[in-house]
Amino acid sequence: QKEVEQDPGPLSVPEGAIVSLNCTYSNSAFQYFMWYRQYSRKGPELLMYTYSSGNKEDGRFTAQVDKSSKYISLFIRDSQPSDSATYLCAMSPYGGSQGNLIFGKGTKLSVKP
């Protein structure tokens, strides 16, 4: 079993839809959870960063962490064609820059106008 599992998709939705992206993990030591967005031919860009369990909202994006289920989610409201990208979950036992990140495979999202 891989440490982080993420459905690679692809996921295609109409503009304005609510998008739900998910990852599961097996290492209970993970405390810090991140979502990155990666456009084609670009490096990943940090979208959301959360510590431990709970919700965090930033504009149209909401990140949820359920440590009891080892499950994290990213919701995108009112999706736009510009949201079309690959979304990577990442996690680490350590905060700051002390430790390496463990990434999922990424989910490729396409938002159709």
Nearest to another protein of 76, 90 (CB atom): 90
Residues linked to residue 30 through DSSP beta bridges, in sequence order: none
Q: Closest separation between CB of residue 46 and another protein, Å?
A: 5
**Residue number with CB closer to another protein (67 or 108):** 108
**Strand bridging mode 71-76 / 61-66:** antiparallel
- Find tokens 């999706």 and name the residue: 79
> Please, what is the Cα angle at 62 between 22 and 113, to 5 degrees?
80
User: Which structure tokens are listed for 22?
Assistant: 């998910």
Closest CB 76 distance from another protein, rounded Å:
19
Closest CA to 72 of 53, 100, 92: 53
- For another protein, give the closer residue by CB, 19 or 88: 88
CB of 58 to another protein, least distance (A): 13
Interacting residues with another protein (CB under 8 A): 4, 6, 8, 32, 34, 36, 41-46, 49, 88, 90, 95-106
Tell me how far apart the alpha carbons of residues 81 and 83 are, in angstroms, rounded to a whole number: 5
Least Å distance between CB 55 and another protein?
18
Considering the complex, state which of residue 30 and residue 32 has its C-beta at the smaller distance from another protein. 32
